Structure 1
Amino acid sequence: MAYQPPFTITTEILNLVADISEAIGRLTVEFEQEKLLRLRKVNRMRTVQGSLAIEGNTLSEAQITAIIEGKRVIAPPKEVQEARNAIAAYEAIGSWQPSKSKDLLTAHQLLMTGLVEEAGRYRSQGVGVMSGDQVVHMAPQADRVPKLMGELLAWLRTTNVHPLMASCIFHYEFEFIHPFADGNGRMGRLWQTLILSQWHPIFINIPVESLVHQHQEAYYLAIRNSTAQTDCSPFIRFMLQMILDAIEESTSHQLENAGISAGINAGLKLSPLDHAILELIKADRYITNATLAEQTGKALSTIERRIKKLKQHSLLKRVGAKKTGHWEVHL
């Protein structure tokens, strides 16, 4: 019987998939190919910096940019090597197929060359995931890894689950198996980007890894909760939210960095959710975040993030105390 990862598709997950699909549709219409090409360099830098920072790499965005441009950087040699490898891996991402074991091993070799002895090979020893001094996950025995990875790749090749969800499921299962001696986190994020880009090429230009870095504790918590529940739905919800936020919240910032003055960087690009939030607040200036979440059918965390962005762009202002104050809309 073919392996089936344990997951539950909830209404929240389906809503996130719908929201991401809609946001991607808007992005595709609004971005001309020339803009996408000009954005690629900026987003590649943010992707690499975000993914490596999660693993403790201290290189700044400016240093990563310098390495991409072939300039010399004064920094710990290991961190520079990690960056060069990651840049090369993301450059090569279009040549790999997500369900091919050979491509996975090739990617790991490229990502970890000069950093670990077993670059490009599954681990030969047991490994545990640590949080401080505490072991939070003991990965399956090394001799089981080839079989487990074979089953996971076969599932990815044949599943009819939506690619947005499949990419999250694969990412979680990959981290659970922990198939390599080192580099599992950055490989999991790289491979999710690959799966997403096979569904829609625009994901090559969306630095989801950068947003995951900003919510690093929640990332690890979602992994732990999924393991505890023997159901990766918590991780699916978390990653889908990161994908949606990366699309909706990072776009104008990226465009400004790329020096593009036209299109959606002219202020905040309001999503249908933003419009709904503002309309509900206009109707009731004392409305709570919880009520906004209930009436829009979104997660409370999603509402809080969008309100924060609306406040940053001076479209929304809180007047008075948190509990007794009210909202003002400025459009």
Structure 2
Amino acid sequence: MAPTYNTPYSTTSEMLAQVAEIAEQVGRLSAMRGKVAGLRHRSNRTRAVHATLAIEGNRLSPDQVTAILDGKRVLASPREVQEVRNALLAYDRFTGWMPHREQDLLEAHRTLMAALVDAPGCYRAGGVGVMAGDMVVHMAPPAHRVPSLMADLLSWLERVQDHPLITSSVFHYELEFIHPFADGNGRIGRLWQTLILSRWRALFADLPVETLVHAHQDAYYQAIADSTEAASATPFILFMLTMIRAALDELEATGADSDGADRSDAIAGPRSNCQPNPGPNKTPNK
């Protein structure tokens, strides 16, 4: 990131304690070969996909997500089915993407939003406001600033030396603040945090932190709002550390299958060229 950039958070004793405890817990789980192998189990992948889409209003059940993974037909709206197919494919592909590469981020958005928006894989061309009900709670930066803001953020991510548990949360929050896409910002932010964490420890590739975020969805939005009001990502970092710790607690308490991965053959949507998307747009707070 540019030398003048200041990371929008400050470390606290609570934050450092959480990071130390999570790192210790991850070390224990990584040493348990059966549990780590079990993290590849498809149930964790479908749970993550179900949760990240449910946060955004997708009404399909976990069983329906599994049915789509198995290539079965489900009674649901075509859009909701397409959302699931796209997300299954994105979570299947994401270990091949590099967190700091813009082309990978855009490819991820193209995969997630294929056949759902006019210009998947392209930054927005118009203004956007984040809504909570009928109220605008955040006006994202103007569209003309998005490319430079994202370039700065990705450059910072490549160079930062702080702990991935912290930097992944900062990136997640900053992406939601910039709101670089016309739609799909929430799901790409959650996916990218998982990607960053999986580059630190492989077990995060299939740890469904999204299920805990979904269970605490109001607190998730509140943490974003609190960070925006404070002009600091610290509240959001603390929230995400709590969710990560809870997901690891769940894994440690229940154990994991020792089965290997069962990968999806989900169908990719069509590629789209970036086209102008003029005029302000309002998106739900997600």
Instruction: Please report the TM-score for the alignment, with normalisation by the length of structure 1.
Output: 0.75
Are the structure 2 counterparts of residues 254 and 60 from structure 1 closer, same or farther at C-alpha, using a change threshold of 3 Å? farther
Deviation at 1:31, TM superposition (A): 3.3
Residues 20-99 of structure 1 mapped to structure 2, 5 A cutoff = 20-32=22-34, 35-36=37-38, 39-99=40-100
Deviation at 1:153, TM superposition (A): 0.2
What CA distance in whole angstroms lies between the structure 2 residues aligned with 1:134 and 1:142? Answer: 21
What CA distance in whole angstroms lies between the structure 1 residues aligned with 2:6 and 2:103? Answer: 22
What CA distance in whole angstroms lies between the structure 1 residues aligned with 2:144 and 2:250? Answer: 43
Structure number having the greater helix percentage? 1
What CA distance in whole angstroms lies between the structure 1 residues aligned with 2:28 and 2:154? Answer: 32
8 Å contact kept, 2:98–2:104: yes
8 Å contact kept, 2:10–2:232: yes
Are the structure 2 counterparts of residues 145 and 254 from structure 1 closer, same or farther at C-alpha, using a change threshold of 3 Å? farther
1:146 aligns with 2:137: no
Greater relative contact order, per chain length (Cα 8 Å cut-off, separation 6+): 2
Larger Rg: 1
Cα RMSD (Å) of the superposition? 1.5
Deviation at 1:3, TM superposition (A): 1.9
What CA distance in whole angstroms lies between the structure 2 residues aligned with 1:218 and 1:33? Answer: 29
8 Å contact kept, 1:50–1:213: yes
Partner of 1:203, secondary structure, is helix
Task: Note the alpha carbon deviations across 1:248-298, whole angstroms, 9 max, x for none.
Answer: 12454473xx598xxxxxxxxxxxxxxxxxxxxxxxxxxxxxxxxxxxxxx
8 Å contact kept, 1:100–1:153: yes
What CA distance in whole angstroms lies between the structure 1 residues aligned with 2:136 and 2:251? Answer: 34
What CA distance in whole angstroms lies between the structure 2 residues aligned with 1:239 and 1:108? Answer: 22
Unaligned stretches of 5+ in structure 1? 261-331
> Who is 1:298 aligned against?
none
1:194 aligns with 2:195: yes
8 Å contact kept, 1:165–1:236: yes
The one-letter code matched in structure 2 to 1:30 is: M
Are the structure 2 counterparts of residues 259 and 166 from structure 1 closer, same or farther at C-alpha, using a change threshold of 3 Å? closer
Residues 226-265 of structure 1 mapped to structure 2, 5 A cutoff = 226-253=227-254, 255=256, 258=257
Instruction: Please report the TM-score for the alignment, with normalisation by the length of structure 2.
Output: 0.87
The one-letter code matched in structure 2 to 1:11 is: S
The one-letter code matched in structure 2 to 1:62 is: D
Task: Note the alpha carbon deviations across 1:162-218, whole angstroms, 9 max, x for none.
Answer: 111000000000000000000000000000000000001100121001110000000
8 Å contact kept, 1:122–1:181: yes
8 Å contact kept, 1:127–1:139: yes
Are the structure 2 counterparts of residues 251 and 73 from structure 1 closer, same or farther at C-alpha, using a change threshold of 3 Å? farther
Task: Note the alpha carbon deviations across 1:280-327, whole angstroms, 9 max, x for none.
Answer: xxxxxxxxxxxxxxxxxxxxxxxxxxxxxxxxxxxxxxxxxxxxxxxx
> Who is 1:210 aligned against?
211
8 Å contact kept, 1:197–1:203: yes
Identity among equivalent positions (%) equals 54
Which 4+ stretches in 1 moved above 6 angstroms?
none
